[in-house]
Chains A and B, each alone.
Chain A
Amino acid sequence: GAVVSQHPSWVICKSGTSVKIECRSLDFQATTMFWYRQFPKQSLMLMATSNEGSKATYEQGVEKDKFLINHASLTLSTLTVTSAHPEDSSFYICSASGGAILGGELFFGEGSRLTVL
């Protein structure tokens, strides 16, 4: 089946630094990718929708200057948490849509756990 890979799986950084998380579709082209955030023991909250070659669409309440999303190719989207603070610590999950070719199904990455000290 279609595989989505996230890197890194775990990252610890100091407050004030920026962290980049990659989301790759390994064996299909992802027309659309989604970024979710999940706090401990809570559900997934959609942060933004990313379409290749265009600006991401952010959900209400998500700071676009804080969470920079780039979808430069059909197989790669990146989420950069800028000037990270402890409250940004969370589990970030991406999903990718293969479009009509794959029946529109979403495939999820393994997630990336960010801890900001």
Chain B
Amino acid sequence: AQSVTQLGSHVSVSEGALVLLRCNYSSSVPPYLFWYVQYPNQGLQLLLKYTSAATLVKGINGFEAEFKKSETSFHLTKPSAHMRDAAEYFCAVSDASSGGYNKLIFGAGTRLAVHP
């Protein structure tokens, strides 16, 4: 079985500060890992994904994440926060052997607040 744990349901940063959203996963098979962003009353937008290639993954809007197998982590970072980054962020895991993208298991989500 696969699962995702996002540490911290709420994260607040100042504009221009480093953003760090934590994600740890559990998987008995090689995982595919994803970060999605959700703005209020909207669906999900893919930020980035890890699919067993490079461990440091760069995504849209300046976000990146590093897959660390030894730590079973896939933390999301951004060097400098913008006000528009305020949203809900979800980490998700999928089974690589099934093709990777199907049947995503989501973490509980982290709400990022950015203050001036």
- Which residues of A pack against B, CB within 8 Å? 4, 6, 9, 32, 34, 41-46, 49, 91, 93, 95, 97, 100, 103-106, 108-111, 113
Give the secondary structure class of A's interface: strand
In this complex, the interface size class of chain B, counting residues with CB under 8 Å from chain A, is 20 to 34
Assess whether A49 is in contact with B106, with CB atoms less than 8 Å apart. Answer: no
Assess whether B90 is in contact with A97, with CB atoms less than 8 Å apart. Answer: no
Selected from A9, A46, A93, A103, the residue in CB contact (under 8 A) with B44 is A93
- Which residues of B pack against A, CB within 8 Å? 36, 41-46, 49, 90, 99-109, 111
Give the secondary structure class of B's interface: loop
Summed over the interface, the residue pairs from A and B with CB atoms below 8 Å come to a total of 56
- Looking at the assembled complex, report how far the CB atom of B99 sits from the nearest CB atom of chain A, in whole angstroms: 5
Selected from B103, B107, B109, B111, the residue in CB contact (under 8 A) with A49 is B103
Assess whether A111 is in contact with B41, with CB atoms less than 8 Å apart. Answer: yes
Inside 8 A of A9's CB, which chain B residues have their CB?
Answer: 41
